[in-house]
């Protein structure tokens, strides 16, 4: 937040301690607000469609889709919380130190939960491709729900531990009234990067490399003339083909996640000071938004059930009696 001469005071009654409003050009400010508002709206609407689809239609409530549901919830919260926080922080923060701390806390929870969801999705695809015969017994709805709950609970406690100083004494690092900043010491920042980025990325890459190798070998086996044509093997091959398609789709989701999150964490590893540059911070934030907005777009391209569900929701057929039992696959 600018404290130098130029710009109006955030709190005119506090002449000596108030921050000053930055004075970007009118066209630049309008462009930023329109861009962030548009991405936010699309993010919330698209992810809300995913949440409604999986929550309402029982046929879609598979273990894999429950993971997508959790990811959609975190993406929806990103679209809901981030724009107001960025817009208010970019000008003046009028909501007080406590709300500043809570906004930072919420964002940290969402970020760590998203990383955990990606790891769980990778584990799901690993078991489905590499151990398909035991997948129905290993990956059940009950187990998935337990792990998702653990993921969110751990994110809540981890974020509270990481920001304990910020939560215990909100505003302790603010240099003037109207500022909302988050300062994490080097050790805590390093631990955060390792636990929420390096470790999840390593697990995801290792699992998906294994999935890729097994999927390629299965595809070659399907093209082999020695493959039997019995009904049992035909069903098994069809199931494997379906799982491979799901692995490919979710692999795209994971790759998009890595592309969108890498800039922030890579900069955090090298130099945190660069994040104070407005242009680069805007770039990182936009990538963060785009990741949450792109996931449901990927589903729309690759999942017929999502396109069908959106059609039923938009045409209000979802309000019909027993619509939750509709055939979506």
Q: What is the 3-state secondary structure (H, E, C) of the chain?
A: CCCCCCCCECCCCCCCCECECCCCCHHHHHHHHHHHHHHHHHHHHHHHHHHHHHHHCHHHCCHHHHHHHHHHHHHHHHHHHHHHHHHHHHCCCCCHHHHHHHHHHHHHHHHHHHHHHHHHHHHHHHHHHHCHHHHHHHCCHHHHHHHHHHHHHHHHHHHHHHCHHHHHCCCCCCCCECCCCCCCCHHHHHHHHHHHHHHHHHHHHHHHHHHHHHHHHHHHHHHCCCCCCCHHHHHHHHHHHHHHHHHHHHHHHHHHHHHHHHHHHHHHHHCHHHHHCHHHHHHHHHHHHHHHHHHHHHHHHHCHHHHHHHHHHHCCHHHCCCHHHCCCC
- 214-220 LR contacts (CB < 8 Å, sep 24+): 214/129, 214/130, 215/129, 215/244, 215/247, 215/248, 218/129, 218/244, 219/244
20 phi/psi in degrees, rounded to 5: -110, 140
What are the residues whose beta carbons fall under 8 Å from the beta carbon of 134, sequence distance 6 or more?
Answer: 127
Which residues on adjacent β-strands are paired with residue 18? 177
- C-alpha span between 152 and 148 (Å, rounded): 6
Rg of the chain on CA atoms, in Å: 23
- C-alpha span between 247 and 212 (Å, rounded): 9
Write the CATH number of the domain with boundaries 65-288: 1.20.1070.10
Of 200, 100, 91, 220, give the one whose Cα is nearest residue 151.
Answer: 200
Q: What's the pLDDT at 201?
A: 84
Q: Around Cβ 125, how many Cβ atoms within 10 Å?
A: 27
pLDDT string in tens for the chain (329-residue length) = 444 444 577 777 766 777 776 665 666 667 777 777 788 888 899 899 999 999 999 889 999 899 999 989 998 998 888 666 555 555 677 777 888 888 888 888 988 898 899 889 889 888 888 888 888 898 999 999 999 999 999 999 999 988 888 888 887 777 777 777 777 777 877 888 888 888 888 888 888 888 777 777 766 666 665 544 443 444 444 445 666 666 677 677 777 877 877 776 666 555 544 444 445 666 666 777 777 888 888 876 778 888 889 889 988 888 888 888 888 77
Which residues on adjacent β-strands are paired with residue 142? none
Instruction: Output the pTM of the full model.
Output: 0.81
């Amino acid at each position: 937040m600018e404290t130098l001469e130029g710009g109006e005071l955030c709190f005119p009654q506090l002449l000596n301690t108030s921050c000053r409003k930055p004075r970007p050009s009118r066209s630049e400010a309008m462009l930023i607000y329109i861009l962030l508002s548009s991405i936010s709206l699309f993010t919330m609407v698209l992810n809300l469609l995913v949440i409604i689809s999986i929550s309402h239609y029982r046929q879609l409530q598979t273990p894999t889709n429950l993971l997508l549901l959790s990811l959609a919830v975190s993406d929806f919260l990103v679209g809901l919380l981030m724009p107001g926080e960025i817009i208010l922080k970019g000008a003046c923060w009028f909501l007080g130190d406590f709300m500043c701390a809570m906004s930072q806390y919420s964002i940290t929870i969402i970020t760590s939960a998203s990383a955990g969801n990606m790891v769980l999705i990778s584990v799901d695809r690993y078991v489905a491709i590499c151990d398909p015969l035991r997948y129905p017994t290993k990956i059940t709805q009950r187990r998935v729900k337990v792990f998702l709950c653990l993921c969110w609970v751990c994110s809540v406690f981890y974020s509270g531990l990481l920001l304990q100083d910020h939560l215990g004494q909100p505003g302790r690092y603010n240099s003037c009234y109207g500022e909302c900043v988050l300062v994490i010491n080097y050790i805590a920042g390093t631990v955060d990067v390792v636990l929420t980025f390096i470790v999840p990325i390593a697990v995801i890459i290792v699992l998906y490399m294994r999935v890729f190798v097994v999927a390629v070998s299965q595809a070659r086996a399907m093209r082999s003339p020695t493959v039997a044509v019995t009904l049992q093997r035909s069903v098994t091959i069809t199931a494997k083909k379906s799982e491979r398609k799901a692995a490919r789709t979710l692999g795209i989701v994971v790759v998009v996640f890595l592309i969108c999150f890498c800039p922030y964490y890579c900069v955090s590893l090298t130099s945190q000071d660069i994040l104070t540059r407005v242009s680069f911070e805007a770039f990182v934030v936009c990538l963060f938004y785009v990741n949450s907005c792109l996931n449901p777009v990927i589903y729309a391209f690759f999942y017929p059930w999502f396109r069908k569900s959106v059609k039923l929701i938009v045409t209000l057929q979802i309000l019909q009696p027993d619509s939750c039992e509709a055939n979506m696959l």
